Amino acid sequence: EIVGRWRPDGPGEEEEEAACYGKPVRKFVRTSERNGRAVASLALADGDEGILAAGRRDGTVRFYDAGGTRGLRQILPGHRGAVVAVAFCGENFLSASSDRTLRRYHLDSAGGTVRAIYLDTLYGHQSDVTDVAVSHVTNRRGEVADARPISVASDRTARVWKTDEGTHLILRAGGGTVGFAECVCAVSTSTALESGSSNVNFVTCGGEDNGTVALWSAGKKRPLDSLPAAHGTEGGRANGILSCAAVRGSLNPDVFATGSTDGRVRLWQGRSNSDADAGNKKQKK
């Protein structure tokens, strides 16, 4: 049985029992829901803070206490469009919106209570941002050497943000077979980010116009590889990919999942060129 621990928005909700796969589920139902209150994105912070971030269509982000009973912690206004994606980046937090921008916050834990402090707004996308992820690159000692936000938008670009320098790299995700990217996820790598590196750092997935999966390195302007219509076609059109997520952990490096309009979830593994070359040599032997 799933039991609600707190009411996220206070009064105005009522409990009801529902059946899900033959098991009782307890859920909260808002009787006067409005589109502006709809939650469009969620992210859970790593560590013991127990922070759950919820991006909403009214342009706000709300922080909740996911590990206790405090409920709502903080409301972050600022976006002029729906907050379609949220992500934690170490001591920072990112929100992406249909207003074409990303907002960056610092997570201040002074006094034992974590609060988000606004840092800056990232401009550059020419249309709605559709997703954001954070690429964590570790060195050979397993230490985080770099962490860069990666965003995709309906302007058919992916952008790798160098927030410490105030610049960003534009990747033309709309060229060739790659098309418009609906979502992005960062995959793990155990090699330090170097100039000319061909290690897979992140994955972009095409929406309903192409359904392409593309593998990228943060050090290159073109995808390392791409697979059009990764979920097949239906009626002569590619099945779009609406969501993707990376599998965490060193036992499954570069493994990620995609969810499509065809109702299926598929698991993939992206390999660097060096790994592929090593595999080819073994097969030849």
Could you report the per-residue pLDDT of 13-43, keeping only the tens digit for each?
Answer: 333 333 333 444 444 433 334 545 799 999 9
Give me the mean pLDDT over the 84-93 stretch.
92
Res. 53: pLDDT tops 80: yes
Give me the mean pLDDT over the 131-145 stretch.
74
In the chain, ranges of CATH 2.130.10.10 domains: 143-285
Which pLDDT band holds residue 209 (cuts at 50, 70, 90)? confident
**Conformation bin of residue 78: beta by default, left when phi > 0, alpha when psi is -120 to 50:** left
Of 271 and 6, the structure prediction assigns the larger pLDDT to 271
Res. 173: pLDDT tops 70: no
- The pLDDT assigned to 183 comes to 94
Res. 250: pLDDT tops 70: no
Res. 128: pLDDT tops 80: yes
Which pLDDT band holds residue 219 (cuts at 50, 70, 90)? confident
Q: Looking at domain 143-285, which CATH architecture does it have?
A: 7 Propeller (2.130)
Q: What is the pTM of this model?
A: 0.78
**What is the gyration radius of the CA atoms in the chain, in angstroms?**
20
Please write the tens of the pLDDT for every residue from 92-111: 999 999 999 999 999 987 76
CA distance 79 to 104: 11
- Percent of the chain at pLDDT > 90 equals 39
The topology (CATH level 3) of 36-123 is Thrombin, subunit H (2.40.10)
Give me the mean pLDDT over the 251-265 stretch.
87
Mean pLDDT of the chain: 77
